[in-house]
Structure formats: structure tokens, C-alpha cells
């Protein structure tokens, strides 16, 4: 996959152009540096598309580097899922797969270098004491009583920290910068802490681990990254990023540039909150189709192209904003409208018996596979005496503007015949269980009859004798408010109780038996649906990807 350079460039691409034109760099190297402590969500997709997209546009390269510096929260499951997500989005890192843990020895050496140059010290204070001594935006911090420890004592203690002589939290290594600095990140930040937890790659080799701020810039430098692209929350960390590069013998000097992160309404992006949803069983897992995780939206049937298009549409800026999820859904519809094959499916079936149709007769009607791609031709759909239609397509006591099926009126059955309802069969509780109808043989293929009469509605159907029985899961937005994690309320209070409806007795056109797991199709008149990973030949399962229209738009108050 190649990405053409955009005629209208964002500020990051303008910076890269300036650096290349001035010969500051002779190429472009970016990186995507996830922490393997959870599954990626759609917010990460923006960064993936930006970093890998720039590498493609400028004939450069993009590294995938796992910043695995916190063994207590990291797992190979997350590493594998992140790789899968990036490949699904259409990108590849080639030979450039790295881990921050690859650099642990070098980072340790550089920490020693800071100690030897009087720019780092071992602190015995507790985390609460350090937090208290840090000060705030109005008040400077207070020097640690251990800030001026002798160099040899710092080196000895740091070696003993590595050797495992001390407990978690008993000591830390801090950079020695300025406790009165206006940027709180520069007030002697912790750069190493003790963690007696096995690492997913290095095992128990280490019991001290570098902090993210100490790891990130040096890893970029070791990989000769030219442009380190971060979201806005790292803007205040940039002085520290640059301080480390200036005070260490790094082989290159990357440039950190910040951009606004992708935020969506009706969802949460915090990994902590997403993990809570999983662990407390509000969803079925990280890949639940209601989750904003990349694995979740993939399982729901969102096309990777739609995600890339969405990221391109919202663009790259430095302004914080929340994007409307309807824009994402619109991007999904646009791609699926062009690509998805059409089929008929009845989700809440109501039986129809055509009394004047021969009992043993079966006809095959031609139905278009995709009107956007006429070259795909047509498919054969069986028609018989007994059929299913949607319960909502019939109303016994219909109002004047109800144009679908009702007693004494006709409708067009898609691609088949005109049908008239003559009789309604009910059970002992008064529920409609069956419709007795007749068909007009002169309307074969849905054509208008010779006498010139007209109908105002066309409905879909499925042959009862040929129907594929399936479970259909109607997924909707996980939250019922635009900003579920704003204010003082618990975000769990805003969960949408109607975010999942399971329909166990759907009747599908038999051609749907050939649709592969993960493929998204259109159920005519109903929306787009994807074959779920739990689906099997014996028990097909389809997930609703998105409706044909934005059903939430009606509920929004007018401004």
C-alpha cells in the first residue's frame, strides 16, 4: 500500500519538508512506541496512520518499538495484539521491530554517566515525601536531603539497587536538575525505580527499571529517529526529553513534535477505564465489538480503509477537540456502501404463506450483488410458498401513511412478486403468528402489473424452506452520553443498557452461508453486518457493524 503526498500539508509535514530542504536530515525516520500494557484503541490509530503514513510518503521508515519499562502491567498478549492491529490497518515495520528492553544495559550505563557527572543521585525518600517536596505551580520544590550525596556513594547505591539489595520503593534514582524550575517535570524527576517483578522479555535479569521519560528519548536516539511524534500531553515533557539528550552521549538528536490526540464522543479512551470494563465484565473482552479498541472495531466489521480515511479527514492539528463518532460511522458506511455485497435477512421473522402459490414449486430470482459494482453481477435467491418477513413490515391496524404490508393491501417483495395480505393468524394471546397472502404471477421480478396499479413499498423476505438460521447481535454505542468520563460522575453510570440486543432466531438468505468470518455485508434495508469470530457452520453469528443511517441523529437536541 502506498500513500500519495497530500497537496495540503499539516504542520508536521511542513516541518519535515523544511528539515529535508535544509539538509538537516537526508531521510525521515519515525516510530510508533506503544506500551504493551493493554490493547490499542482507535485513538492510537491516528498515531499509527501518521507515523507509518509519513514513512511511506517520504520513502523513509517507521519503527515499531514497544516501550516495555513497566513489567507489572505488561504482557506478550498485548505485544501480539498490537502487531496484529497495525498489520490490519495496512502498515508494516519490516525489519524494524524494537523493544525498549533491548536497551536496558545501555540505559543503565547512561544513568551511571549522569551520576558520574553530578547530574543524578539516589534518593531514599518515600513517594509521598518526594511528592510533597516537589512543590506546585505557585511554589518551588524542596531539595531532597539526599540530593548532595557523594558521587561514590551514589554509584555504590545504584549498583546495589541493580543487585537487588533493596525492596520496592526503598530507593530511586533521580535526575539532578532544578527543584525551582517552572516546569514541574524538571524538578529532579525519578529516572529509575525498583520493581521486583519478572519482565515479559528479560525475566528476572533486572529488578530496576527506567522510567518512561528516561527511556523514550534515548531509545529514539539509539534508533536514529528523526522526528518523534507525540500527542499533546507530552508537550510539557519535551524540555526533559531534550535535557536527557543534551546531557548524554547519544548518537543522534531526534526532534519531538506534539499533535492533538484523537478523542471521540460516546466513548472512553483511558486504558485504565477500558481495563475496568473488561475486568468487571461490563463487556465480553478487549475485542468486544462495543469497545473502541482496534480489535473491537475490527470484530464489529469496520474496514481498515474506513479508519484510515477517518484519520485523514480529522487531520493533524495542535488543537484539543472531540470528534463526533457519527463522522467515523459515516466513513464506515462510505467504504461499505462501495464494497459490501448485498443479501436479504429477516431479524425478527413473521411467517407468510402464499396460498395461491404451488406447494412444491421453488423459483430462483436474480438479485444484484452490489449496485455500486455492476461487474459483480447477480446472485440467485430462492422463492417458495412459505416465506419470512420482518415483524415491523406488517401492521394489522395500519395508519394512513404506513405503506408496508397490511390486510387488504399489496406490497412488492424484493426481486419477486407483488403480494396481497388477506388473512391474519394469531395465537391464543392475540399475537400475530402468520399471514395468509396471495401473489400476482404477472408481477414476476417485481415488475408493475399490466393494469397499471401501483404500490408504494418494497420489502425484503427469505424463503422459509431455504433459510439459514443464525444469531444476530445488534451492537450500539456503549455509552448513552457524549462525555461519559467528564465531570464528577462515575463513567459506568452512563453505560447504555441497550448497547447489545441478541436476536437468536434470525432467518437469512442461504447465500450468506458462504460469507467468511470477518467479512462485512449489507443486509438490505437493515444495515451492515459482519460474521463474528464465534460463528460456525452449525451456528452462524452476525454482528451489526453500523446501520444504514445515523439513528442517533434524531435524538440529538436542536441547537
373 is an active site residue: no
For residue 230, what are the CA distances in angstroms to 87, 310, 321, 558?
21, 19, 16, 36
333, 305 in Cβ contact below 8 A? no
Residue 216, burial from CB neighbour count under 10 angstroms (0-12, 13-18, 19+) = buried
- For cell 497537496, the residue is 7
- For cell 419477486, the residue is 416
Cβ neighbours around 537 below 10 Å, total: 6
For 311, residues 6+ apart whose C-beta sits below 8 A from its C-beta are 45, 46, 49, 50, 262
Which residue stretches of 493-533 are H helix?
Answer: none
Residue 267 and residue 293: Cα distance in Å, rounded?
Answer: 11
261 is an active site residue: yes
Q: Ramachandran region of residue 281, left (φ > 0), alpha (ψ -120 to 50) or beta?
A: left
Catalytic one among 271, 312, 379, 414?
A: 271
Residue 461 and residue 413: Cα distance in Å, rounded?
Answer: 7
DSSP code of residue 344: -
For residue 59, what are the CA distances in angstroms to 23, 94, 421?
16, 13, 65
DSSP code of residue 385: S
Residue 309 and residue 67: Cα distance in Å, rounded?
Answer: 28
Of 180, 193, 192, 185, nearest to 243 by C-alpha is: 185
For 62, residues 6+ apart whose C-beta sits below 8 A from its C-beta are 29, 30, 31, 32, 51, 52, 54, 55, 91, 93, 96
Dihedral sign for Cα 488, 492, 498, 499, please: positive
396 is an active site residue: no
Catalytic one among 261, 348, 444, 525?
A: 261
Catalytic one among 35, 57, 84, 386?
A: 35
| Residues paired with 379 in a beta bridge | 367
- Catalytic positions are 35, 261, 271
Amino acid at each position: 500500500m502506498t500513500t500519495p503526498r497530500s497537496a495540503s500539508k499539516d504542520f508536521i509535514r511542513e516541518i519535515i519538508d523544511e528539515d529535508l530542504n535544509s539538509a538537516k536530515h537526508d531521510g525521515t525516520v519515525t516510530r510508533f512506541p506503544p506500551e504493551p500494557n493493554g490493547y490499542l484503541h482507535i485513538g492510537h490509530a491516528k498515531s499509527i496512520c501518521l507515523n507509518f503514513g509519513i514513512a511511506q510518503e517520504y520513502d523513509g521508515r517507521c519503527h515499531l518499538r514497544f516501550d516495555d519499562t513497566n513489567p507489572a502491567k505488561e504482557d506478550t498478549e498485548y505485544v501480539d495484539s498490537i502487531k496484529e492491529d497495525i498489520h490490519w490497518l495496512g502498515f508494516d515495520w519490516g525489519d524494524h521491530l524494537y523493544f525498549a528492553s533491548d536497551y536496558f544495559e545501555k540505559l543503565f550505563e547512561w544513568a551511571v554517566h549522569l551520576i558520574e557527572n553530578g547530574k543524578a543521585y539516589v534518593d531514599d525518600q518515600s513517594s509521598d515525601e518526594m511528592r510533597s517536596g516537589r512543590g506546585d505551580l505557585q511554589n518551588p520544590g524542596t531539595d531532597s536531603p539526599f540530593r548532595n550525596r557523594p558521587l561514590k556513594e551514589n554509584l555504590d547505591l545504584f549498583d546495589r539497587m541493580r543487585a537487588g539489595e533493596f525492596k520496592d520503593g526503598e530507593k530511586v534514582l533521580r535526575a539532578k536538575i532544578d527543584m525551582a524550575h517552572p516546569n514541574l517535570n524538571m524538578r529532579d524527576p525519578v529516572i529509575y525505580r525498583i520493581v521486583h517483578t519478572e519482565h515479559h522479555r528479560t525475566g528476572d535479569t533486572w529488578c530496576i527499571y527506567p522510567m518512561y521519560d528516561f527511556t523514550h528519548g534515548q531509545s529514539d536516539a539509539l534508533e536514529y529517529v528523526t522526528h518523534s511524534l507525540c500527542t499533546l500531553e507530552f508537550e510539557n515533557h519535551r524540555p526533559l526529553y531534550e535535557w536527557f539528550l543534551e546531557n548524554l552521549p547519544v548518537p543522534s538528536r531526534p526532534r519531538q513534535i506534539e499533535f492533538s490526540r484523537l478523542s471521540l464522543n460516546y466513548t472512553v479512551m483511558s486504558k485504565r477505564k477500558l481495563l475496568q470494563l473488561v475486568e468487571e465484565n461490563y463487556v465480553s473482552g478487549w475485542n468486544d465489538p462495543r469497545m473502541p479498541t482496534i480489535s473491537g472495531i475490527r470484530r464489529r466489521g469496520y474496514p481498515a480503509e474506513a479508519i484510515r480515511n477517518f484519520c485523514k479527514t480529522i487531520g493533524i492539528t495542535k488543537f484539543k477537540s472531540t470528534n463526533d463518532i457519527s463522522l467515523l460511522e459515516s466513513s464506515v458506511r462510505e467504504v461499505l456502501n462501495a464494497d459490501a455485497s448485498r443479501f436479504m435477512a429477516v431479524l425478527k421473522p413473521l411467517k407468510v404463506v402464499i396460498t395461491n402459490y404451488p406447494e412444491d414449486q421453488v423459483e430462483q430470482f436474480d438479485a444484484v450483488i452490489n449496485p455500486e459494482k455492476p461487474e459483480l453481477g447477480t446472485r440467485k435467491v430462492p422463492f417458495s410458498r412459505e416465506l419470512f418477513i420482518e415483524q415491523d413490515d406488517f401492521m394489522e391496524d395500519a395508519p394512513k401513511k404506513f405503506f408496508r404490508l397490511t390486510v387488504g393491501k399489496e406490497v412488492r417483495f424484493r426481486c419477486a412478486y407483488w403480494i396481497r395480505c388477506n388473512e391474519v393468524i394469531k395465537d391464543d394471546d392475540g399475537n400475530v403468528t402468520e399471514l395468509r397472502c396471495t401473489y400476482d404471477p404477472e408481477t414476476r421480478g417485481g415488475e408493475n402489473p399490466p393494469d397499471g396499479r401501483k404500490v408504494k413499498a418494497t420489502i425484503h423476505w427469505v424463503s422459509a424452506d431455504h433459510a439459514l438460521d443464525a444469531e444476530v447481535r445488534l451492537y450500539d454505542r456503549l455509552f448513552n452520553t457524549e462525555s461519559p468520563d467528564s465531570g464528577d460522575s462515575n463513567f459506568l453510570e452512563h453505560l447504555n443498557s441497550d448497547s447489545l440486543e441478541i436476536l437468536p432466531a434470525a432467518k437469512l438468505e442461504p447465500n450468506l452461508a458462504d460469507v467468511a468470518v470477518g467479512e462485512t455485508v449489507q443486509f438490505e434495508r437493515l444495515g451492515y453486518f459482519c460474521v463474528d469470530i464465534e460463528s460456525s457452520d452449525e451456528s452462524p453469528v452476525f454482528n451489526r457493524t453500523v446501520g444504514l443511517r445515523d439513528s442517533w441523529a434524531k435524538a440529538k437536541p436542536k441547537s
